[in-house]
Amino acid sequence: MIPDSFIQDLLARVDIVDVVERYVPLKKGGANYSARCPFHNEKSPSFTVSPTKQFYYCFGCGAKGSAIGFVMEYAGLGFREAVQELASGIGLKVPEDEPSGRVREAGQPYEKAAAGAADLYELMTQAVDFYRNELKKSSRAIEYLKGRGLTGEIAARFRIGYAPDGWTPLAQAFPDYQSKLLVDCGLVKEPEEEESTKSDGQRIDGQKKRYDRFRDRIMFPIINQRGQVIGFGGRVLDKGEPKYLNSPETPIFDKGRELYGLPQARLAIRETGTVVVVEGYMDVVALAQHGVANCVAALGTATTPAHVQKLMKQADRIVFCFDGDTAGRKAAWRALENSLAHLADDRLLSFVFLPQGEDPDSFVRKNGNTAFIELQKNATPLSQYLLDHLSENINLKTPEGRSQLLHTAKPLILQIAAPGLRLQLFKRVAELAGVSQNEVEQLYSARANVAVRPPAPARAGRRAPVARNFHQLLQLVALEPALAKRLDLELFDRDTEAGGAAHALVEWITNDEDSSHTPAMLFEHFRGSAVESFLGGNELNSLRDKFDQADMERDFDNLQLALRSTRYQEEMDELLAKAANAHLSAEEDRRFMQLSRELQSLKSTQSSPN
């Protein structure tokens, strides 16, 4: 990995305002700059760049980070490529890789986890390089891709490679082929003893040995929004099963949250305001080859709610494109069901079903990109598809059929989060069922302006608000590192995730008192670590006036007061519960009175004007 000292030096030398303005026009407003967010479509500016913090944040979609993160997000580059681009602009040369991760303070579980994640990302990058080199050597693989109409330019853009046939080709790229990390990131399989009778394992000297997961397959790297390779999809060249083999779930890869091709499609999505969701890797690549570059694919799984949430942040319009066969229609209905709770009235979801026997790859090669784009324009809106599907096998001319429609539509319509669309569907279902809208609403026991969501998990007392307070405290420290010196670490249990993150943050920030740490430096230092999850999120939207220091300091003090109050109150509750069943000792009595005074003092402080 690139040395942390170099990253910090680079961030100290570049100006994020200059970097962002290369891509996005900024407008000065007070101490900060603003623009319409380049990462999602919006009408009014919610994207803020802070020159003092060297940090950007979008109050609309939550995009955030340093100059490095911006270049990665906007240009779809990997971490190293983004660092190289910034460094070359100011005449710095990126040093050679260090053997370990950038977050290296010893003794902390978070730093150990971070180093492990960094190691996995590094292994995946090395695997990509190996597979790409192997593609250059394989005339058979090259001819296969040419036969599918792909050029070298598109193959390079998607970093397509080839996994050679054989049990252990990756041993050429990884001298330590026995490393556990190769299994952890899904590149290598290590069969269990009970699998010894199966034919998919390799035997050497009568012993079961580990072997490459991907063999004789075209390799499609799966890249996350930070430009890091997190997994692979491998396609057979000839006949064979499975047709596609995907990386397993790993510490860095959750297939239910990632979308193939999103980094490459981001610019086209911004330009068109539309993202097209197709079923396969080859569909994405083939459409890009034919000039339809705003396409992504789920990773060998059905469209999940997490996919929908991610897509809603990318574009105003989402078009799901499925094959016209039975499997395609099942996948479309699953996508609709998983979308309902995340719909918004300012976002459009629609569906395209290709002719029988066609997929996006074959359709665009046969009919061209104009015909495919025309399909998108004429896509079926979600509301129409929903009602058409529910009415498909129902006789609406009979009372029984109309009653069946009311019954089957109820659980779906009540999930819809978009109040305007839900109201329209109430009206439309009432028309089809031959009743009034008011009767439908009474039958469904719902008002037209209230969405029925799945019940929230039960909370244990004050734990949920307390967890949010801890999270927001750490986010404030991230945005104003000087607050670390005022953070009361006694409020945090070091054995918890939040506590470990708090100690890691404070120790890194205060390690060098002469050093001025910006939020950009902090975010990059903890990139890829378990600490990173505490440094961002929707809670940042609560920071008023876009990074106003006085507001942040006031919020910081109030959060710490609230956490102290909660801690005192919980201890008092424990003593009161004990007193209900037994007499308190003299020491416990004194402690109760002390807590009562402390709590009263804190309440007075909280209620006093700022």
pLDDT band at 136 (very low <50, low <70, confident <90, very high): very high
Most confident of 68-82, 142-156, 471-485: 142-156
- Greater confidence (239 vs 340) lies with 340
Strands 32-35 and 47-50: antiparallel
- pLDDT value, residue 470: 77
- pLDDT value, residue 141: 96
pLDDT band at 513 (very low <50, low <70, confident <90, very high): low
- pLDDT value, residue 143: 95
479-491 pLDDT, tens digit each: 788 788 888 887 7
Phi and psi (nearest 5°) for 381?
Answer: -60, 150
Task: Look at residue 114 and tell me whether its pLDDT is greater than 50.
Answer: no
58 SS3 class: strand
- Greater confidence (556 vs 97) lies with 556
Q: What integer is the mean pLDDT of 224-229?
A: 78
Q: What integer is the mean pLDDT of 375-382?
A: 93
To 10 degrees, what angle do helices 463-479 and 497-510 make?
20
CATH number belonging to the domain at 262-378, selected among 1.20.1560.10, 3.40.630.30, 3.40.640.10, 3.40.1360.10 = 3.40.1360.10
Share of the chain above pLDDT 70, in %: 84
CATH number belonging to the domain at 463-607, selected among 1.10.3720.10, 1.10.860.10, 3.30.70.270, 1.10.579.10 = 1.10.860.10
Residue 243 burial (CB < 10 Å; 0-12/13-18/19+)? exposed
Task: Look at residue 115 and tell me whether its pLDDT is greater than 60.
Answer: no
Q: What integer is the mean pLDDT of 343-349?
A: 91
- pLDDT value, residue 82: 84
> CA 126, CA 170: separation in Å to the nearest integer?
10
Q: What is the 3-state secondary structure (H, E, C) of 119-135?
A: HHHHHHHHHHHHHHHHH
- pLDDT value, residue 543: 47
- pLDDT value, residue 116: 54
Q: What integer is the mean pLDDT of 162-166?
A: 94
> CA 49, CA 514: separation in Å to the nearest integer?
25
Q: What angle do CA 161, 167, 169 make, to 5 degrees?
A: 45
237-275 pLDDT, tens digit each: 987 788 889 999 998 898 888 999 998 898 888 888 899
Residue 56: CB atoms within 10 Å:
31
Share of the chain above pLDDT 90, in %: 36
Distances (CA, A) of 54 to 50, 144, 350, 523: 6, 47, 39, 11
The CATH superfamily label for domain 109-191+202-246 reads: DNA primase, catalytic core, N-terminal domain (3.90.980.10)
Q: What is the CATH code of the structural domain delimited by 387-444?
A: 1.20.50.20
pLDDT band at 447 (very low <50, low <70, confident <90, very high): very low
To 10 degrees, what angle do helices 382-391 and 419-433 make?
30
Phi and psi (nearest 5°) for 290?
Answer: -100, 20
pLDDT band at 192 (very low <50, low <70, confident <90, very high): low
Rg (CA), the chain: 28
> CA 565, CA 310: separation in Å to the nearest integer?
37
Cis peptide before 3 (omega within 30 of 0): no
Task: Look at residue 14 and tell me whether its pLDDT is greater than 50.
Answer: yes
Tokens of 25: 């026009």
pLDDT band at 198 (very low <50, low <70, confident <90, very high): very low
Task: Look at residue 105 and tell me whether its pLDDT is greater than 50.
Answer: no
- CATH architecture under which domain 4-89 falls: Alpha-Beta Complex (3.90)
Q: What integer is the mean pLDDT of 569-598?
A: 80
- pLDDT value, residue 452: 40
Q: Which residue has the tokens 């596609």?
A: 244
238 SS3 class: coil
Residue spans of the domains in the chain: they are 4-89, 109-191+202-246, 262-378, 387-444, 463-607
- pLDDT value, residue 197: 41
452-469 pLDDT, tens digit each: 444 333 333 444 456 677
44-70 pLDDT, tens digit each: 888 999 888 888 988 877 788 899 989
- Residues 424/386, Cβ–Cβ less than 8 Å: no
Give the H or E element holding residue 561.
helix 549-579
Average pLDDT, the chain: 81
- Greater confidence (44 vs 19) lies with 19
- Greater confidence (419 vs 542) lies with 419
